[in-house]
Chains A and B, each alone.
Chain A
Amino acid sequence: MSLKFLSADEAQVQGSFTPLLQSNIEAELVAAGAQIEERDGWRVAANYGDTIAEKKACAESVGVADLSSLGITELLANPAVIEAITTGVAGTAAKLGEAVFAGGAWWCTVKPDRVLAMTAPGDTASLRGRLEAAADARSELTSVTDLTSTLTTFSVSGPLARDTFARITALDLRDREFPLQGFQPGSIGRVPGLLLRQGSDSFLHTFGAASAQYMWESVIDAAEDLGGRAVGIDALGPLGGAVEATTNA
């Protein structure tokens, strides 16, 4: 199956044409003071002019970053096939309600027969390739689809991250109910979303890309009211986590 038209990273320089990959909300980020830089083929909000203050926000209040460039690959298959493929590709498999970080990706089980792999932009194509190869080798129906452009992800990090979400969602994010590496779907800001707790105070919030502007306005509004701010990816660790956050399975 060839569905290259779904993948932004299939864009190539063609003569005088140099495609740019960018966030749906680049205009909003720029209006908020973002310094846009090219990283791994994407135009990203690297910082908002003061990386130290942005890191401080993530450490002391809450920082919100647009991670639209985060690669997201969907794997659909029966649970046994999913376990076999993810174990083969990443050496591990995530249970329902949790995510595991392995092989440079967060493996998030949305349903027993649906897993999302979240990767750094530069790793997305190669991971997709490995998954497609693994899928092709199976006799059972297995689908690999690039959802990078379909879903947008925000990083919400800092001690007030939970309070930020408490303004926009009724999800129970207490430690006991949503432990480290917890992953769950839910309504966030009245939009279907997926939430991954990748660090003690660090969350990845993923949702439909068409809602990105609305969600940015909603999350930033809540964060700023609590003393937080927009931050660039330079204030964050790998995959948008707090600097110390990402754990290895």
Chain B
Amino acid sequence: MIRQGFILLIALFPFVSLFLVAPSMEIGNVEYIVHTVGLTIILSGINVWLATTFAWWLLWTESRWKSVIEWLVFLPLFIPMLATLFGLYLILAEVGLIGTYIGVILALLVVTIPYSIRLAYNGMAVIGRPLLEQARLLPMSRRVVYVLYPLFSRMMRTIALFTTVILLSQFALIQLIGAGLIPTVTTELYQSYAGNNRSLALSNTWMLILFPVVIYFLLSGWNRWMVRMLKGRLQ
């Protein structure tokens, strides 16, 4: 009991800081919130789609290149993120994508996709090939809607959540690839911290913490509603 209490205390104690200073309630320019929401939706959608399809392919492929491709996809997990970012900066500068929304999305996709594929592949491997065998006979759209989505909606939620957290953690990436032209809640937090505006920095911290929470509950509700609706259609 004492051990359990101690572990819980350590896990929750830093949240005390949220109540040490009163957060600022002034929201003048909402551009950075719009950017953050936009990037979160686009990036989560792409990650869920690419990771699920790739994990499905990896589960079934008989290709002799399977292990090589598997390594290639998981290898970026072991490359320091900032090193990847420096290299991407050079590549994107060559093709003129620095300071653009597409450049930022591409860079964020590069750093998030290995985690998403890993989550998707682990999720599918747990269920295993024998149980999913029959779903292969269905056309792609019905397979996704009636089998993959209901089975893996939790996994998809986790991918979206992880993507959001990684996206919200990026200051250097968004600042360098976005050339300072694409403000997000993260860049605002850093600037308010640098400007010694504690209450504004705290309100941005609140936002950074609440973003994943809101996404978790929204996706949970959406998944529950969708699965109930799909079950109703099948009856």
Verify that A and B bind, or say they do not.
no
